[in-house]
Structure 1
Amino acid sequence: MLKALIFDMDGTLVHSDPAHLEAFAQTLGPQGVVISEDLYRTSIIGHTNESIFAALLPHLPVEEHEVYAERKEAAFRRLALELKPLEGLLELFDWAEARGIRLALVTNAPLLNAAHILDILGITNRFEVKITIDQVERGKPDPLPYVTAIERLGIRAEEAIAFEDSPSGMRAAKGAGLFSFGVLTGLSATELTKVGADRTIETFRDSALWEVLERRIAA
């Protein structure tokens, strides 16, 4: 029986990648780092700030990486004020809650960013469990964030469905034993299927999603 839906945030609840890309570009431009769409897709999407800045600014000490990460996140929050939920998201939330299916958030974003985005989207109070990078020792692609969410929900992995948009997030969800949808806001269906997605969708109105949901609640 389906008991919970577990969502990544950036690129899943909301198409926030353009704002993130611009925030990285503004922050790292003075260091001579050019943030192209290809670099963003291959080296940034789904990764933790710790690994991103270590890779892009290897000549600087960890303390400087943290400073740049804070600057980037502040820039992102300024750029994110007009973001809207991905198509069909709020209808999916209503459908789940009407059936007693619980909602959880699992993100590599810091708590401040997560709170900011959820507030902008008007969905702060929709999640029973929220796991941010601040709450776990290891972020995605490690399964730990999803394992932690499952434990806090008090359910088994087979009783939940995950939604992810990045390879690292998909690896984390599958590593935790979750049936997972790949959300195609930044990557192709081929790319996400290759790293484990059970199905892929462009929005939360896709028939592929609803076929699985109706089958799972009827089980």
Structure 2
Amino acid sequence: MLKALIFDMDGTLVHSDPVHLKAFAEVLGPEGVVIDDELYRTRIIGHTNESIFASLLPHLPVEEHEVYADRKEAAFRRLARELKPLEGLTELLDWADDHRVKIALVTNAPLLNATHVLDILGITDRFEIKITIDQVERGKPDPLPYLTALERLGIQAEEAVAFEDSPSGMRAAKAAGLFSFGVLTGLTADEMREIGADGAIVTFHDRALWEILEHRAGSGS
């Protein structure tokens, strides 16, 4: 029986990648790092700040990476004030409430960002469980964030469905044993399926999603 929906945040609940790209460009431009769509897609999306800044600023010590990460996240929060939920999200959350399906967040974002984005979207109170990078020893692509969410929800992997937009996030969800939809805000459907996605959707209105949800909620399979 379906008991929970577990969502990534950036690129999944909201198409926030353009704002993140702008924030990275603002902070790293003075260091001579050019943040374009290709670099963002291949070396930033889905990665932790620790690995991003180690990759882009290898000549600086870890302490400086942390300073740049803090600057970037502050820039993101300043630029993210007009974000809107991905199409169909509100209806999906309402459906989950109506069917007594729990809602959880699993993100590599820090708590400040997660709180900020959820507040902007007006959905903070919809999430029973929120797992951020601050709460786990290892972020995605390690399955630990998802395993932590399942433990706190008190359910098994087969009782939940996950939503992810990045390769690292999808690998984490699948490694945790979750049936997972790839949200196509950055990758193609073929790319998502190559890394293990069980299905691919453009928005939360997609019929492919609702067929699975209605089947799982109604049949208990």
TM-score by length of 2: 0.99
Give the drift of 1:192.
1.0
Q: What's the counterpart of residue 2 of structure 2?
A: 2
- 2-side partners of 1:43 and 1:128: how far apart? 31
Moved over 4 A (4+): none
Question: In the alignment, does 2:29 pair up with 1:20?
Answer: no
SS class of match (2:180): strand
Q: What's the counterpart of residue 29 of structure 1?
A: 29
SS class of match (2:145): helix
SS class of match (1:5): strand
Give the drift of 1:217.
1.0
Q: What's the counterpart of residue 211 of structure 1?
A: 211
Aligned ranges 1:80-99 → 2 under 5 Å: 80-99=80-99
Deviations 1:69-95 (A, max 9, x none): 000001000110000000000000000
How many residues align structurally? Answer: 219
In structure 2, what residue type is equivalent to 1:195? I
Give the drift of 1:107.
0.2
Give the drift of 1:156.
0.3
Identify unmatched segments of 5+ residues in structure 1.
none
In structure 1, what residue type is equivalent to 2:126? R
Q: What's the counterpart of residue 126 of structure 1?
A: 126
- 2-side partners of 1:113 and 1:96: how far apart? 24
Q: What's the counterpart of residue 73 of structure 1?
A: 73
Q: What's the counterpart of residue 50 of structure 2?
A: 50
- 2-side partners of 1:129 and 1:75: how far apart? 26
Q: What's the counterpart of residue 64 of structure 1?
A: 64
Give the drift of 1:30.
0.3
Question: In the alignment, does 2:162 pair up with 1:162?
Answer: yes
Q: How large is the RMSD of aligned CA atoms in angstroms?
A: 0.4
TM-score by length of 1: 1.00
Deviations 1:106-165 (A, max 9, x none): 000000000000000000100000000000000000000000000000000000000000
